[in-house]
Amino acid sequence: MFHHLIFTNLSYLINSVIFLGLIGIIYTLLEKTRVNEKKVHFSLGVGIILFGISFDYLMV
């Protein structure tokens, strides 16, 4: 009866779940290897953020 309301954006939902899962896996790996406790140069952090933005733009 209302199946069109639930399954309309199913591919968007699946993409969001995959994206959040990948972020969780990356965060867990960084926590386990203790990378987050190291001092990182500011330009490297900005580069990682810009890479993420450009990757997101290319994937959409």
Q: Give yes or no for residue 20 having a pLDDT over 60.
A: yes
Q: Mean pLDDT score of the chain, rounded to an integer?
A: 77
pTM for the whole thing? 0.47
> What tokens does 59 get?
């994937």
Report whether 30 contacts 36 (CB < 8 A): yes
Per the structure, the count of domains in the chain is 1
Whether 7 has a pLDDT exceeding 60, the answer reads no
Which residues form the domain of 46?
Answer: 3-59
- CA-CA distance, 58 to 51, in Å (whole number)? 10
pLDDT score at 43: 84
